[in-house]
Structure 1
Amino acid sequence: MFKTIKNAWGIPDLRKKILFTLFVIVVFRFGAVIPVPFLNSTALRGIMNSSAVNSTALGYLDMFSGGAFSNATLFAMSVTPYINSSIIMQLLAVAIPALERMVKDGGEAGRKKMGQITRVVAVLLGLLQGLAYYFYLRNASYGGTPIVKYTQGGAGVFTAFVIILVFTAGTALMMWMGEQINQKGVGNGISILLFAGIVARMPVIIGNLGKYLNMAWTDGSANGRYFFLVPLWGLIFLALMWVIVFMNDAERRIPVQYAKRVVGRKQYGGQASHIPIKVGIGGVMPIIFASSILSIPTTIRFFIGDNKDLGSFWNGFFAAFSSTGWVYCILYVILIVAFGYFYTAIQYNPIEMANNLRQSNGTIPGIRPGKPTSDFIGKVLSKITFIGSVFLAIIAMMPIVFANATGMHNLSMGGTSIIILVGVALETVKQLESQMMMRHYKGFLD
């Protein structure tokens, strides 16, 4: 990877793209430290540092924003509204025939129109999300200190307007920055910004690991186990990265044989090919879906307040759905597998694939065209999806199991973060290699 970046740096055009991408990342990090007016960042940081927030929607928002939300800054909501908008539009494109025709038959114009609709929906979602978080922040306090300042009378209306507007504007600005990276930089813009936000949390994680080592050094009799657990965490982190890299390139290739046909004096077909199906079809999406749904009960409990007695039943219910509860872990695995199949069903249509093969005179050796071919492709997709979903579940559960077994809950590096880090790095390197190949650079693989 580093050699590829070094070779790309030697090409002037790619060097400009890399520098532009780095410039946008620097601007993003500057925006992540510009405070939102009328918010007490010290009080908000005190709430966000509590362990009760780790498995809530606020915890995920803080993770994706690189700590910008806990610091009450311009990019506090990160690109989550845009991600949610993209997911919603993908689902609607499958459910609504008009949108499906616009994407498939509209060509470049149809894709641009779909992109415009996605951006408008993202701004609307950002406005609603900013409104919801304002109402939460207005009623929240830490140690008796309110988070929102000047919320009384007419000043309160102006304060609400400014905070919600800044939240929404930060989301729109990040969306625009991501599009600029797509046009003038290297890699997928939104993914690059997510990558930068997660990497920005690494110093905090390293600092927390250092605290555990300091505890072991100062009081070895009670905390000596951290001398072993901290290096173990590093080894598990590296092992998960290796597994993700291995599974990211894994694929099942369905062999295809094309029949020979003669048109005039020319012969077409007759060659063998294959249909590649990646093991990790859904990528990180099933984990994001499952995490978002399971964070709802904990978020509701957090909004209600931990100091309120709701009765033994509801207290037990919310305790079961905490990140340390056994119900949470079981449902987490089930939902990841279920959403893996759901995302595969959206991306692949076995009947359409079988029809396309028949129209192009292609057959799978040993399988008859038509329904037998679609059934065979469906079985292969089912097996591959199961393997990929179990792999995602293991990656997602490993940090949770480690935290519950060791008590090291404040490392804030889940399976979602690791998959995003590795996936974005691999995708960016592949894009650099493809652009170097287009420029006929001879030594890019040497």
Structure 2
Amino acid sequence: MKNFFKAFTVPEIRRKIFVVALWLVIFRLLAAIPVPGIDVARLQSILGENQLLGFLNLFSGGGLSNLSVMMLGVGPYITATIIMQLLTMISSRVKEMYYEGGAAGKAKFNKISRYLTVPLAALQGFGFLNLLKSQGVLPELTAMNLLENIIVITAGSMILTWIGELISEQKIGNGISLIIFAGIVSGLPLTIQNLILGYSTELLTTYVVFALLSIVIIAGVVFVSEGERKIPITYAKRVRGNKIYGGATSYLPLKVNQAGVIPIIFAISILLFPQFIAQISAVFSTSLSLTLQGWVGAIFNNLILYTILYFLLVVIFTYFYTAITFNPDEIAKNLQQSGGFVPGIRPGEPTTQFLKSTTGRITLFGALFLGIVAVLPNLVQLFTGLRAFTLGGTALLIVVAVALEIARQISSQLTVREYEGIGY
């Protein structure tokens, strides 16, 4: 909190915070523009009953709750990003572009991800409109009206993706995560109001369980996000004339969870995708679509199987995203060039292998812990039968993790300015 207030005394960081806030306000205004002809009462009823739509509303930043032009949110872009990241493991060409292409390669990679978002958004838009029409939320649509709505909500998703990238450029957190964060936070006043107005002694147990779950989730996320392993780094002494340089000792902090909240967002996206495809296939009523719906229903209506799958995906994506963002080869190379080394470890390849093994061990702990925290709401539902915690627990998890990431980014920028001697 101290660093947050201190950030407002630095003109450059203050400007970045205001720019991010402005884009988030614009997003919330756009999310309030509804698709015409919706039955709001029916929509709210379905969102409360359908966990799939509840999660999708989470990813749209609340845009689905009033069926706005932003109803798809950043979901299509997240799916496109996952597909592209998986391609780095399958295609040597994509891998070379991402890892060895430098800034130009990453820019091209992101450009392809944006292009891929368009057909995914159109496909999801088609599925949503048909699903909501079948549920009585939307009136019957002509082919032209359906096409117009698909174009509008696809454009809305692309605009939101663009806003997310503009936010990321300010380096005050990940733009996509902040959009989801803003959507969740914007709904807090109404949630608190409903909790107060709907309170009764019969619900006391539910309130107590949710309060305890919230404390555990917050403590767990803070513990995983702030935990780190400090690797000592010693710099060799160099003599130039009559002066001796180097000889200092520093450390390399390796975070227990370097991926932040991204693994949870990715895991939920993957879990939603087959359910979404099943909803689209229901429009065609073929034997294949009925079989697909049966398989998806059998998996995702089984809470135990769903929880295990969710846990495994969080663990896998924690490793996956850490492998993408953390480059031991580059760190070892930079240390060697600057005359730094890990005591007891030779520079070069041995240092690379040491960093890989160390990161693997601490990431295992972080991934398992994050996975347990992520499925806690499901476990509460499994043992108590209370369904209200699943969405609320996931939302709380994302809010806490993103808030910590924002604080870390601001603290990092303040630290850099101190080292550069810019001052406040």
Kept after mapping to 1: 8 A contact 2:256/2:365: yes
CA–CA distance in structure 1, aligned partners of residues 47 and 4 of structure 2: 37
Per the alignment, residue 378 of structure 1 pairs with: 356
| Deviation digits for residues 26-79 of structure 1 (CA, Å, limit 9, x no counterpart) | 3222222211135444433332221xx21x3x3321112233213211110111
- The reply to whether residue 252 of structure 1 matches residue 242 of structure 2 is no
Q: Could you say what secondary structure the match of 1:256 adopts?
A: strand
Per the alignment, residue 321 of structure 1 pairs with: 300
Aligned partner of 1:196 among 156, 162, 182: 182
Per the alignment, residue 128 of structure 1 pairs with: 123
CA–CA distance in structure 2, aligned partners of residues 441 and 362 of structure 1: 26
Distance 1:9 1:242, change over 3 A: same
Per the alignment, residue 149 of structure 1 pairs with: 139
Question: What percent of counterpart residues are identical?
Answer: 39
Per the alignment, residue 377 of structure 2 pairs with: 399
CA-atom RMSD in angstroms: 3.9
Cα distance, 1:260 vs structure 2: 4.0
Per the alignment, residue 78 of structure 1 pairs with: 73
Per the alignment, residue 367 of structure 2 pairs with: 389
Of 403-412 and 67-76, deviating more is 403-412
Aligned partner of 2:148 among 152, 162, 168: 162
Paired residue type of 1:21: V
Cα distance, 1:392 vs structure 2: 0.7
Kept after mapping to 2: 8 A contact 1:93/1:100: yes
Per the alignment, residue 88 of structure 1 pairs with: 83
Paired residue type of 1:274: Y
Paired residue type of 1:148: L
Per the alignment, residue 238 of structure 1 pairs with: 215
Q: Give matches, 1:271-286, under 5 Å.
A: 271-286=248-263
Structure 2 unmatched runs, 5+: 283-288
Q: Give matches, 1:25-424, under 5 Å.
A: 25-50=24-49, 53-54=50-51, 56=52, 58-93=53-88, 95-103=90-98, 107-138=102-133, 140-141=134-135, 145=136, 147-151=137-141, 156-182=142-168, 186-207=172-193, 209-210=195-196, 213-214=199-200, 216=201, 223=202, 226-260=203-237, 269-295=246-272, 318-319=297-298, 321-322=300-301, 325-348=303-326, 350=328, 362-368=340-346, 373-411=351-389, 413-414=391-392, 416-424=394-402
CA–CA distance in structure 2, aligned partners of residues 185 and 350 of structure 1: 23
Cα distance, 1:176 vs structure 2: 2.7
Structure 1 unmatched runs, 5+: 217-222
| Deviation digits for residues 265-317 of structure 1 (CA, Å, limit 9, x no counterpart) | 87665433333211012222332343334445655676688xxxx99xx9798
Distance 1:403 1:210, change over 3 A: farther
| Deviation digits for residues 90-126 of structure 1 (CA, Å, limit 9, x no counterpart) | 4445554555555555554444444433333333332
Distance 1:289 1:29, change over 3 A: closer
State the TM-score, normalizing by the size of structure 2: 0.81
Kept after mapping to 2: 8 A contact 1:396/1:414: no
Per the alignment, residue 220 of structure 1 pairs with: none
Paired residue type of 1:173: I
CA–CA distance in structure 2, aligned partners of residues 355 and 23 of structure 1: 40
Q: Matched residue pairs, number?
A: 417
Kept after mapping to 2: 8 A contact 1:64/1:198: no
Distance 1:232 1:16, change over 3 A: same
Kept after mapping to 2: 8 A contact 1:21/1:185: no
Distance 1:91 1:234, change over 3 A: same
Distance 1:95 1:254, change over 3 A: farther
Paired residue type of 1:68: G
Cα distance, 1:174 vs structure 2: 1.4
Cα distance, 1:355 vs structure 2: 5.8
CA–CA distance in structure 2, aligned partners of residues 26 and 181 of structure 1: 12
Cα distance, 1:414 vs structure 2: 5.0
Distance 1:368 1:28, change over 3 A: closer
CA–CA distance in structure 2, aligned partners of residues 122 and 303 of structure 1: 18
Q: Could you say what secondary structure the match of 1:69 adopts?
A: coil
Cα distance, 1:426 vs structure 2: 2.6
CA–CA distance in structure 2, aligned partners of residues 113 and 288 of structure 1: 23
State the TM-score, normalizing by the size of structure 1: 0.77
CA–CA distance in structure 2, aligned partners of residues 190 and 287 of structure 1: 13
CA–CA distance in structure 2, aligned partners of residues 243 and 326 of structure 1: 22
Paired residue type of 1:199: V
Paired residue type of 2:138: V
Cα distance, 1:398 vs structure 2: 1.4
CA–CA distance in structure 2, aligned partners of residues 392 and 78 of structure 1: 25
Kept after mapping to 1: 8 A contact 2:32/2:68: yes
